[in-house]
Amino acid sequence: MDVMDNPLKKTQKASFLKNYFTKVPEGEQSSAAIAFLASLEAIQEAYPAIAQRIVKELQDQRSHLKLIASENFSSLPVQLAMGNLLTDKYSEGFAGHRFYAGCDNVDAIETEAAELAKKIFGAEHAYVQPHSGADANLVAFWSILVQRIQNKEVEALGKKNLNDLTPEEYERVRQLLVNQKVMGMSLGSGGHLTHGYRHNISSKMMQSVSYDVDPETGLLDYAALQKQVKEEKPLILIAGYSAYPRLIDFAKMREIADSVGSTLLVDMAHFAGLVAGKVMRGNFNPIPFAHLVTTTTHKTLRGPRGGMILCTNEYKEVVDKGCPIVLGGPLPHVMAAKALAFKEAASPEFSVYAHQIVKNSQALAEGLMAQGVRVLTGGTDNHLFLMDVVTSFGLNGRQAESLLREARLTVNRNAIPRDPNGPWFTSGIRMGTPATTTLGMKPEQMHEIASIIYDLLKEAKAGVVEKTGAPSREKAHVSEKVLHRAQKRVTDLLCEFPLYPELLID
């Protein structure tokens, strides 16, 4: 199939199943593909425009190299697990303790997912209800606040539970809750919005203090962090990142947290798959050292969009009350998909995949550095790295991102430490290899991708704003010849490593 086919007009009256059964011999047919196409055909009959956009998204993902570090390609069974009647069931509470009747099947699914997660990660407890990583972090924050502040204050007042407090007593407890301190890596150093960024609720429900990487090396300075933590004495110390390319010593982070009585919360949303796949071991595996660990279930874990919390038994009871403290009704269909993804992650094949992600990330970074591109920290130990496009090409992140997308490479711009261009235009591009590794690519293909990126960006110049003729901070351009050459090289790669080859849609 030509990866550049535009299916928008073709899907108006198409029979996806008829086309599939006609062209694919019976012995080669896939039940997952048949189920996917059948669901697509049902959607087309009910709402053609939505079916068209699903097909167009498939075409887009087949025609563009996905290098966004936080994206991946989930399996068709994982996707199909989300499209069923489980979505119709309300199930507030947790397994065996619901606020609605008729939750037996949801209980079984949630229990299965949680038990698989505990086994994969070696955790004491797993909570699989959060709808996203941000939700998981909110539940974790409030679990810590309730466990360490609220419950102790209620006990000190001689009351059995929160409902027994007078309005004046409750207000005093509430003020204590919202005046605690949280400390996480700054956004500019590679942290996440939910780690105390001023425009996020995490800095509004608590006092927020950030720590930075060393401005010269781009690395965490544990001695400097130890000093800052002793000065600030946060209730919660967050370790984890969305754009830090090196390993974190979680044993050292726990030691620092313990020195001031902080709760260590690790956000492993980006690298959960590397933990599950046994790439990150010893001090670089957060599970033995953190009180609570949050994660998404997509990204390197290659599951459905969703979140999860792993914790010690100390926090089990309060974490399980994520609903009602933060969450609304669980999403049983997504928990079912999480269970499938966890089952996949428990396989030996997944461990091979996880190790290959890092090999590919290192190969891609090395391929760029070999051509003189500045990669922050001089490389990577995980699935991602940051490229300084200002120093390397005289472009800002927004310009480089838009031009790379034109050339059919999908990346995201990212701030770098002390970024003069701020968090919107940025000076960096973040790249990751989970998705290209899922396609089956290896270091040889990473070197080709590095060459495509370099050959394109070295020819780039700032675009022009049509209305004013002024240089554009959003667009960059190259000659048609350079752009078409990059596009062809991307297309050649993707034809060799097609996405969901079992899905025949033309």
- Cα dihedral sign, 488-493-497-500: negative
Q: Which of 148, 246, 299, 430 is catalytic?
A: 299
Is 296 considered catalytic here?
Answer: yes
DSSP states of 137-200 as a string? HHHHHHHHHIIIIIHHHHHHTT-SSGGGS-HHHHHHHHHHHTT-EEEEE-GGGT--GGGT-TTS
Q: Which of 90, 124, 169, 312 is catalytic?
A: 90
Is 92 considered catalytic here?
Answer: yes
- Cα dihedral sign, 24-29-30-35: positive
Q: Which of 194, 296, 426, 433 is catalytic?
A: 296
Is 436 considered catalytic here?
Answer: no
Q: Which of 110, 153, 267, 401 is catalytic?
A: 267
- Reference 405, options 32, 49, 65; nearest CA is 65
Contacts of 362 (CB under 8 A, 6+ apart): 379, 380
- Residue type for 381, please? D
Tell me the C-alpha distance between 177 and 206, whole Å: 8
Contacts of 408 (CB under 8 A, 6+ apart): 63, 64, 65, 486, 487, 490, 491
Tell me the C-alpha distance between 267 and 256, whole Å: 17
- Within a 10 A sphere around the Cβ of 63, how many other Cβ atoms? 19
- Residue type for 56, please? K
DSSP state of 363: H
Tell me the C-alpha distance between 230 and 352, whole Å: 41
Cα angle at 139 between 134 and 144, to 5 degrees? 125
Is 47 considered catalytic here?
Answer: no
Q: Which of 92, 115, 255, 314 is catalytic?
A: 92
Is 299 considered catalytic here?
Answer: yes
Q: What is the 3-state secondary structure (H, E, C) of 265-293?
A: EEECCCCHHHHHCCCCCHHHCCCCCCCEE
Strand order in the sheet with 428-432: 384-388, 428-432, 412-414
- Reference 79, options 435, 337, 344; nearest CA is 337
Expressed in angstroms, the distance from the first to the final Cα of the chain is 7
Q: Which of 89, 118, 159, 305 is catalytic?
A: 305
- Reference 260, options 286, 219, 296, 230; nearest CA is 230
> Is the CB of residue 92 less than 8 Å from the CB of residue 98?
yes
- Residue type for 67, please? L
- Within a 10 A sphere around the Cβ of 336, how many other Cβ atoms? 24
**Maximum Cα interatomic distance, the chain, rounded to a whole number of Å:** 77
| Cβ burial 304-334 (10 Å sphere, 16+ → b, else e) | bbbbbbbbeeebeebbbbbbeebbeebbbbb
Tell me the C-alpha distance between 125 and 114, whole Å: 8
> Is the CB of residue 384 less than 8 Å from the CB of residue 243?
yes
Q: Which residues are tagged catalytic?
A: 90, 92, 267, 296, 299, 305
